[in-house]
Amino acid sequence: MMGSRRGKGGNLRRSLDDTPGVKVKGVNSGRGQEITGVTLPENGKIRGWEFGEGRTIACANVNGKYLAVDGRCPRCAFDLYRGKLLVDAEVWGPEPRVACPTCSVTYSLKTGKFGPEYKATGLAGFVSTWAKTATVSNASQDVPAFVITRDEETGKVFCREL
């Protein structure tokens, strides 16, 4: 780059801010990127949001708190927002989980960590068994997790990766 001194001039935000001693903590005061054109899920439901370049997010509403993970299962590449929301603390633990509708692997909606498999029955159980045998290599991958917040005054929705 012509005319720039790498590492000497500071970053652009700091150079454009004329307030002395004020640092920018993050985008939108640390709430993350504003997302538009999405509908938040009802309590106990999951919604899928698709963004550019095939990126999807599965957002769930658990007791008024919005939790989200990447919308694709790393094991079978199916849509997690079509999965089952698991909130029974006695069975699944304190963190709500989403179960992939194809391979039945569960993921924590708070951290994105993979967990125990959901035991499906009938045709879903048959498909799940076949999906698990066909996709053994990615069985223990986590998914990215996101924090979804809504500004009560403006109604704006923000998304930040954990």
Each residue's pLDDT tens digit, 61-72: 999 999 999 999
CA angle 132, 95, 144 (to 5 degrees): 60
- pLDDT tens digits, residue range 84-106? 999 987 777 889 999 988 888 89
**In the prediction, which pLDDT does 132 show?**
59
- Give residue 15's pLDDT: 45
| CA–CA distances in Å: residue 57 to residues 8, 10, 120, 137 | 39, 34, 23, 23
Q: Is the pLDDT confidence value at 1 over 50?
A: no
The CA distance from 65 to 112, in Å, is: 16
pLDDT tens-digit profile of 6-55?
555 555 454 445 555 555 455 677 788 889 889 999 999 999 999 878 88
- Go through the domains of the chain in sequence order and give each one's CATH number: 24-161 (2.102.10.10)
Amino acid at site 43: N
